[in-house]
């Protein structure tokens, strides 16, 4: 028990003195450069895993996840790895009659996912794929108080 108390005391002293504890040791033979292609391959292959548990359990943030992935690929100059038509079609399928866009098909429209969708379409130069006037109407409705400010309809 004394050993555990010493560890806690050492931790407290290290934190209070502004010296973080080193909790990870990087091996000398670990890669020292960014393995860019591994990142590209992982992101690009994510949409192929539609039957994986993790894919199914993250449906509620699908639109934002697509935005994050596309942005990362774009920064790595690998945007063509994504199927533009497939992504644009998915975004279109998430737009509701009110103009708002949900996180995934059959999810309620929300300001956050509407933003992610517009950003995705902007990156792909495909904003005209959705009803932009309805998106504006949806956002104006949020500003006018007809829809709760959180942006969720439903």
Q: Which of 63, 55, 71 is nearest to 91 (CA)?
A: 63
pLDDT digits 0-9 by tens, 37-80: 999 999 999 888 888 898 889 899 999 999 999 999 999 999 99
The full DSSP string for the chain is -HHHHHHHHHHHHHHHTT---------TTS--S--HHHHHHHHHHGGG-TTSHHHHHTGGGHHHHHHHHHHHHHHTT-GGGS-HHHHHHHHHHTB-TTS-BBSSTTSPB-HHHHHHHHHHHHHTT-GGGS-HHHHHHHHHHHHTTSS-TT----
pLDDT digits 0-9 by tens, 92-137: 999 999 999 999 999 999 999 999 999 999 999 999 999 999 999 9
Give the global pTM. Answer: 0.75
The burial class, CB within 10 Å (0-12 / 13-18 / 19+), for 78 is middle
More confident residue, 12 or 92: 92
User: How far apart, in whole angstroms, are the C-alpha atoms of residue 122 and residue 67?
Assistant: 11
User: How far apart, in whole angstroms, are the C-alpha atoms of residue 142 and residue 92?
Assistant: 21
Q: Print burial letters for 88-122: b (CB count within 10 Å at least 16), e (below 16).
A: bebbeebbbebbbbbbbeebebbbebbbbbbbbbe
């Amino acid at each position: 028990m004394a050993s555990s108390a010493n560890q806690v005391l050492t931790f407290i002293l290290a934190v209070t003195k502004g010296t973080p504890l080193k909790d990870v040791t990087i091996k000398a033979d670990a890669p020292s450069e960014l393995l860019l292609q591994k990142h590209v391959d992982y992101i690009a292959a994510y949409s192929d895993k539609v039957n994986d548990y993790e894919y199914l359990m993250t449906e509620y943030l699908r639109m934002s996840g697509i935005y994050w992935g596309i942005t990362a690929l774009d920064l790595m100059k690998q945007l063509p790895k994504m199927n533009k038509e497939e992504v644009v079609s998915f975004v279109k399928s998430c737009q509701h009659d009110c103009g708002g866009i949900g996180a995934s098909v059959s999810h309620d429209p929300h300001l956050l996912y509407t933003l992610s969708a517009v950003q995705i379409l902007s990156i792909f130069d495909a904003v005209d794929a959705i009803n932009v006037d309805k998106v504006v109407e949806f956002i104006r409705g949020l500003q006018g108080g007809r829809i709760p400010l959180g942006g969720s309809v439903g």
